[in-house]
Amino acid sequence: MISVRVNLGARSYNIYIGNGILAGLGSWVRECADGEQALLVSNRKVLSLYGPMVSNSLAEHGYRVVSVEIGDGEKYKNMATLEKLYDQAYSSGLDRHSPIIALGGGVVGDVAGLAAATYLRGVPFVQVPTSLLAQVDSSVGGKVAVNHPRGKNIIGAFYQPTLVVADTRALRTLPPREIKCALAELIKYGIIGSAGFFNWLEENIDKLLALHEGALVYAVAAACKSKAQVVEEDETEQGRRAILNLGHTAGHAIETLSGYGVFCHGEAVAIGTAAAARLAEAMGLLPADQARRIVDLLNRAGLPISLPPTLDSDKMIAVMRRDKKSHAGKLAFVLPLAIGSVQVCDDLPEELIRQVLF
């Protein structure tokens, strides 16, 4: 097992990463939440696979567990689902010491996290990510949100978890598409801050696709360490943390315009990352051979690298202007300067973006 510490003063927490560690959840939760009840949030499939083990572990350490099932998929990351969690928390008598535990992927973590951040003005929040995407990205860093019909993640908060437990054994039940989607975020970490990790991914991408246990544990830990360093420097995304949004300007616009669920998040981010590499190359910021390596690795991971032809370019530009990195309607992208180094570039020429993306 590997332990990663996220150092944020009073909001610091541990991330435990390993194979077959889920049975130990109750003891770790008890160390950081002294309530008598726990609200376990999950979807039907994950709850059927891991709910009994998690509930038993929590019960063994003194918790009365109340499970609540939410819908599976991005379309359920909304205010209606959030209200369902509030209703269950209230009817179950949760108090400020009672943890809300997210058992599942990014959607479960986002909705449960926003519930934890706002119910009684904040209760302990435990992330138990069971998807590779959640293990390497969304479960770490404290960004929680739900979607609005007009935009992704525009209703949310910064609320750090009390604990993260990532059991890579849970990844065995994932469909291949979900594994591929998560690889987009892993590749992102290599591009934004570690040429060495990017090189490792080039050498080990096939092992990750085959769910090689040692490779998975190493990759999840490396991603968590990378994200922890960025979050420690800029917890609330006032500056440096924006680099974590590589590929997300175009990616979020693709998700919004296509309808949530048409593209998985990682697929949209992969298209956005390839677009960022091509933009950087066209602007003379990124050497052509490095842009090619980025696009090639995304392609080897089985991810899309081009915008779907059905997307309306005018609508795409309009949505990207409302991206959270943008200011006064100017188009802003995180662009790679080299593998291992990126910067936020604002006020990009619309004509160049249209030329490269469309």
Catalytic positions, please? 121, 143, 185, 227, 237, 241, 245, 248, 252, 265
| Alpha helices (H) in 103-237, listed in sequence order | 106-118, 132-133, 176-193, 195-209, 213-233
- Gap between the Cα atoms of 166 and 157, Å rounded: 22
Q: How many CB atoms lie within 10 A of CB 204?
A: 17
- Gap between the Cα atoms of 227 and 142, Å rounded: 11
Distances (CA, A) of 356 to 63, 276, 317: 55, 9, 13
- Gap between the Cα atoms of 337 and 290, Å rounded: 9
Distances (CA, A) of 357 to 240, 250, 259, 282, 307: 25, 9, 19, 11, 7
Taking the alpha carbons at both ends of the chain, their separation in whole angstroms is: 45
Q: Is 272 in contact with 320 (CB distance < 8 Å)?
A: no
The closest of 51, 22, 20, 21 to 38, measured between CA atoms, is 51
- Gap between the Cα atoms of 80 and 265, Å rounded: 21
Residue 343's contacts (CB-CB under 8 Å, 6 or more residues apart) are 243, 334, 335, 337
Place of tokens 């010491």: 97
The Cβ-side half-sphere exposure at 175, using a 13 Å CA radius, reads 4
Q: Is 89 in contact with 119 (CB distance < 8 Å)?
A: yes
